[in-house]
Structure formats: C-alpha cells, structure tokens
Structure 1
C-alpha cells in the first residue's frame, strides 16, 4: 500500500490566515467559519510568522481571563512554527506531532509558499498506528542508549 503525502491527505487546501495585529476574537470567528482548529499568522507577502490553535486559545486566552477582543494574535501565537513540505509522508508528519505535542503543522511549498495546515485529523488510523509504533520504538532505543 502506498503512503500518502500530507498534501494528498488534506481534504481542503483553504489557507486560513490573519495578520499579527488581528484580535484573538477575529481569529476565533475565522476558525469557526472555516471549521478548522488553527489560523496561520502571516506578515507582509504571506510570510509565516506564527500559528494560533484551539489549544492556544484555551490555554493562553480563556484560562488566563484575557480579553479576546483586545488581545492580538502576535501576543498569543506560537512563533516560527515547525513546518513540513507537501511531500512529507503522513506517517512522518504524525510522528513529528507525537514527539513534539503538536496537532497542526503548516505545509510550505516551493519558495516558502504557504499551502495550508496538516491536522492530526487528516491522518487515517493506520497512519497514526504506524507513527505510534515508530515513536514507541524510538523511545525504546533512546532509553537503551541513555
């Protein structure tokens, strides 16, 4: 069975993005309308500056009782997020997510062109299972070396 790439697995390639000065409230509204769990924070010329996820909204805004209408994305985003290329195998992307605690990875193509976001929910159960097995193997190897 051939392995899918992240670009093949992304059901929609809608680029959900906002500038760093946009409010957290705006981001939540855009994410709700697009039915997605993250928004890319972009500067001039669609330069990727950061990412804001549902988890960021919960831990950096709601849990801290921060006013979403007065808080900018720049103040709550994860700057310089880890990115992957469109030809990255889904299994490899899921492994990165497992090892680093991510649920979303920006997908960047030629010339740093933003193509979208790969989400954990874009992976099939068999791809997740393969990545989990590899993560467990890596952990065992690291434990035996350490």
Structure 2
C-alpha cells in the first residue's frame, strides 16, 4: 500500500507559511486549525522547511523571553525529507522513525506538493500484515 492511498482517505490540504511569518502567527495557525505542522515555502512554492508544534515548544524552552518576535525561518526544520505518492507506507514509517522529522511532505514527480502526512496517518492505514490495526480490534481507551 502506498502513500497515495493514505492521501485519498485523509485529503491533501496543507497549510503553508512563508519563512518571514512571525512565529506567533504560525502558532496561532497551528492552534486554530488543530494541526501539528506547517509547511514553509517561498513565493515560488519551493519547500524550505517544516515548522511543528514541538519546534515551537523547544524554542520557547530555550528562549525564556519567548519566540513571538522571531520569524518561522529561525525555528523551522530546514530541507525536510520529501516522499512521492508511490512511496510505501512501511518505508515512510521507517523514515519518520529515524526521528529527524515527524511529518513527510508528499510531492509528485514534477516536485508539486500533493499533501503531507504524519506518523499517525501512516500507522492508521498500514496493512494488517505490516502490523496495522485489525478490524476486529476494539478501540483503545485514552485512560489506562
């Protein structure tokens, strides 16, 4: 099963920002859309980086005076790994397991952005033979 399958179910909406977007504005976008990552692109659409909730949290911890005055470019993960729609789910999971980034931008053969996926999206759609969720397994409670 490929990433294209996951995108068909999840959708391909991606919220993007420019590298000069104030970090405070980026944080409000993340919170307002209930998402964990923003894609950073230049005016020409080139993918420059990713800005995640955890990037902002780490920056706040390192800067006691806050990050609201900084631009996204100062906080983002630069040159993220990109994958194509035909990348298999196990390969994509392995890339994320390396711990460099938590989301994978998906681009077509022409380099055009077609979506973005996180680990949870991938795990939700992996095949049962790959350790995916079984239809007969009851959902887990958040309380343990």
Q: TM-score, normalised by structure 2?
A: 0.78
- SS across alignment from 1:112: coil
How far apart are the structure 1 equivalents of 2:4 and 2:15?
Answer: 16
How far apart are the structure 2 equivalents of 1:128 and 1:60?
Answer: 37
How far apart are the structure 2 equivalents of 1:35 and 1:80?
Answer: 24
Deviations 1:42-66 (A, max 9, x none): 0021111111111111112344335
Kindly indicate which of the two structures has a greater share of residues assigned to helix. 1
In the alignment, is residue 107 of structure 1 matched against residue 98 of structure 2? Answer: no
How far apart are the structure 2 equivalents of 1:23 and 1:92?
Answer: 34
- Of residues 5, 10, 13, the one that matches 1:8 is 5
CA RMSD for the aligned pairs?
2.2
Q: TM-score, normalised by structure 1?
A: 0.77
Which aligned pairs between 1:79-98 and structure 2 lie closer than 5 A? 79-98=78-97
In the alignment, is the contact (CA less than 8 A) between 2:38 and 2:52 conserved in 1?
Answer: yes
Number of residues of Structure 1 aligned to a counterpart in Structure 2: 128
Unaligned stretches of 5+ residues in structure 2: 132-144
Unaligned stretches of 5+ residues in structure 1: 132-146
User: Which 10-residue stretch deviates more, 61-70 or 83-92?
Assistant: 61-70
User: Which 10-residue stretch deviates more, 119-128 or 63-72?
Assistant: 119-128
